[in-house]
A and B are shown apart, each in its own frame.
Chain A
Amino acid sequence: MVYDIIMPALPFIGGYLFTYGLYRIDLIKKALHINIWNLIIGLTFLISAGAGFVLLLLMEFGVALPISPQLLYGHVELGISLVLVTVFHFHTYWKSSKTMFVQVKKRSKT
């Protein structure tokens, strides 16, 4: 079994470029574009991390369910998508992300 890396990433790249394009040409609000991708990152995280957590618990208890292989496959494929959506999240909140690493210069009162 070989995992697909490009295929699960393509719809997310296309989707982000599409909503970003709509926002840039003033067809949708920035808030909508941001919230769509916040919801997507939340759902991707929930499914990928949830599957990972269930797999971890199953492994700790030594239980192998018939759906475990599919769960592992889904966990990996959605995990790849999650990495990509996280990059988009950083892009969306780029200004505040920068302040996380670099101190903001305060304006001197003159």
Chain B
Amino acid sequence: MKNKITSALSKELIISAIENIPMKQKLITAVSTIPFIAATTMSGSCATSCPYGMVNDPYPGQCPRYTDITGDGICDLSQATAAAATDTSSTSTDDTTTTTTDSGNGHGANADTTIQDQSADPNAATIPDSTVLDSGNLHLDTTNYYVLPVTIMLIGGYLFTHYLFNKGILKRNKHRRIWNLLVTAGYLGTGVTGILLTIMINLGIRTALNPSITYWHAEMAILMVIGTMIHIHLYWKPFKNMFRVLFGIKSNLKKKTKVKGHPSDVL
């Protein structure tokens, strides 16, 4: 039996078997393993760490995901790895653990309750730490922003109105107006939510609305990005002209020629 297995697993047999597999199949197999490799390597790294890779981010935090359940004035997500390292070292030597809970705005200075847990059993100290980490705001990391569906929907919409415009059903002005309104809505939405988030982060304001503002900031940003690309396509001639005016050989000093009409028509 042992001989059979060793002969089956012999180096020459494996090499010849691999060589017999067609190149296309090899490629497909290699590509199909990528998601599994990615999943196994990522799941551990993003479970309790800062999605932006920040380390010891102090109050009020650099992003709307700031979470401070431990109440030390540093975002729990940014210190997850450091906390885990110190915890493992402390459990082996120290019998006393301290758990601090902050039910207010997450500011370390406003810590509401401090529970001192004195235990004779050194193994008991390892239990509460896991519960503290689990109760964090980690569900935010799984937010789906629907980047691809929204993008496909917008591009599809543009292709449709462009088709109507080409067929003469939709007037040029109306076609432009629709997409100018949409891009304005995108800029307005992204700008307002972005400024709101910045002010909230700067002032340390944490409300239940924060995750939804972040969500709409991302959604409006998709509309803004796709809308800007469409805007450039709609005003392609003025866009090309911009480079000619700015980087062209033509002198840009004011001569006695007046530009008449609307800037978008000339530029």
Q: Which residues of A contact B (CB under 8 A)?
A: 1-3, 5, 26-32, 34-36, 38-39, 45, 49, 52-53, 55-56, 58-66, 68-69, 71-73, 76, 79-80, 82-83, 86, 92-93, 95-96, 99-100
Contacts and interface: CB of A to CB of B under 8 A. Distances in A.
A30 to B, nearest CB: 6
A73 B62 contact: yes
Contact of A35 (B46, B60, B199, B246): B246
A52 B186 CA distance: 15
7 contacts: A28-B253, A34-B267, A59-B52, A64-B53, A73-B62, A92-B263, A96-B264
Contacts, number: 123
B181 interface: yes
Interface in B199-234: 199, 201-202, 218, 221, 224-225, 228
Interface in B213-267: 218, 221, 224-225, 228, 238-239, 241-242, 245-246, 252-254, 259, 262-264, 266-267
Contacts of A26: 254
A35 B242 contact: yes
B225 A49 contact: yes
A35 B54 contact: no
A46 B225 CA distance: 9
B262 A95 contact: yes
B45 interface: yes
Please give me the 5 A-B residue pairs with the lowest Cβ-Cβ distance, nearest first: A64-B53, A62-B46, A68-B53, A62-B42, A1-B62
B52 A32 contact: no
B238 to A, nearest CB: 8
Contacts of A92: 263
Contact of A49 (B42, B177, B224, B264): B224
Contact of A31 (B49, B61, B177, B259): B259
Given A1-B58, A39-B246, A83-B191, A72 B224 contact: no
A80 B198 contact: yes
B180 interface: yes
Contacts of A80: 194-195, 198
Given A29-B254, A83-B195, A93 B263 contact: yes
B264 A93 contact: yes
B63 interface: yes
Interface of B: 38, 42-43, 45-46, 49-54, 57-58, 60-63, 141, 145, 147, 177, 180-181, 184, 187, 190-191, 194-195, 198-199, 201-202, 218, 221, 224-225, 228, 238-239, 241-242, 245-246, 252-254, 259, 262-264, 266-267
Given A29-B253, A35-B242, 20 more contacts: A2-B202, A26-B254, A32-B245, A32-B252, A35-B245, A38-B238, A38-B239, A49-B228, A52-B221, A60-B145, A61-B38, A62-B46, A63-B46, A68-B52, A68-B53, A71-B52, A72-B52, A72-B63, A76-B198, A80-B198
Contacts of B53: 64-66, 68-69
Nearest to B190: A79
Contacts of B181: 100
B177 to A, nearest CB: 6
Given A1-B57, A73-B62, A100-B180, A30 B259 contact: yes
Nearest to A72: B52
Given A27-B254, A30-B263, A72-B63, A64 B45 contact: yes
Given A29-B252, A35-B267, A64 B259 contact: no
